[in-house]
Chains A and B, each alone.
Chain A
Amino acid sequence: MVEWTDSERAIINDIFATLDYEEIGRKSLTRCLIVYPWTQRYFGAFGNLYNAATIMANPLIAAHGTKILHGLDRALKNMDDIKNTYAELSLLHSDKLHVDPDNFRLLADCLTVVIAAKMGAAFTVDTQVAWQKFLSVVVSALGRQYH
């Protein structure tokens, strides 16, 4: 089981408390598709991904970004058992969506960068550590049911 200090819980809760899910979700997913273009392979049915501009203007991608970010709410509400919280989602990504789990790490990194850009100097070293720990637990849980 992952141990969380009070400080870590506070930092992560604070970030979610003021999070604009639509803005951050859209920005994170589009950034991932642009910076790591191979991730576009999973979005064949999402319309125009021709270049950075069309990706950033794509409403289906924006909606999906929001959906992904809301998916993180479950981890936030169940920080002491993220592993089991995502067991079903992990199987979905493995057996139905066939997503290479290494890409979860890339999306997590993009989310970190977007939040860092939004928070500026407030995204301190300690904030980064706590946030990355949270995301790494999520990423690990999502990859856990692959077989």
Chain B
Amino acid sequence: MLSKREKELIIEIWTRLTPVADRIGAEALLRMFTSYPGTKTYFSHMDITPRSAHLLSLGQKIVLALAEGSKDIANLMTSLAPLQTYHAYQLRIQPNNFKLFSHCMIVTLACFMGDRFTPSSHAAMDKYLSAFSAVLGEKFR
């Protein structure tokens, strides 16, 4: 359950990150791949070395999707429907991995924003990423 203020904080953060979406997304992914090597198994077809074009492009897609979703959180089930199908039927990612990515995204935000990543922002973002992950995993079974 997100309060009005929390929704504002979330939008504020993603708006600030949109211009550097590729960098932020790539860093979060890289942190995840290095901390949790099992997550690399889904990317054997890509070059996920640091600063690779694949990594930046994928990172950008993810951050932009997160930013877009934050604009209308109440309707995530509708706006994410195509991504739900994609993750469930094509990618078939083990759902626990969403948590691992969310954690690494939060660490990336902390590094990027320092003190501005206040406990309230952290709480709001954690809730948003959990909700986003839950919606993405809806069609898994």
Which residues in A have some Cβ–Cβ distance to B below 8 Å?
30-31, 34-35, 52, 56, 109, 112-114, 116-121, 123, 125-126, 128-129, 132
12 A-B residue pairs with CB within 8 Å: A35-B119, A109-B103, A113-B106, A113-B107, A114-B110, A117-B110, A120-B111, A120-B114, A125-B35, A128-B31, A128-B107, A132-B35
Which residues in B have some Cβ–Cβ distance to A below 8 Å?
27, 30-31, 34-35, 103, 106-107, 110-115, 117, 119-120, 122-123, 126
Q: Which residues of chain B come closer than 8 Å to A113, judged between CB atoms?
A: 106-107, 110, 117, 122
Which of B31, B106, B110, B111 gathers the greatest number of chain A CB atoms within 10 Å?
B111
- Which residue of chain B has its CB nearest to the CB of A34? B119
Number of A-B contacts (CB under 8 A): 54
Q: Are B122 and A35 in contact (CB under 8 A)?
A: yes
Q: Which residues of chain A come closer than 8 Å to B106, judged between CB atoms?
A: 113
A23 to B115, CA, bound (A): 12
A116 to B126, CA, bound (A): 16
A115 to B97, CA, bound (A): 23
Q: Which residues of chain B come closer than 8 Å to A129, judged between CB atoms?
A: 34-35
The contact of B107 among A35, A116, A118, by CB within 8 Å, is A116
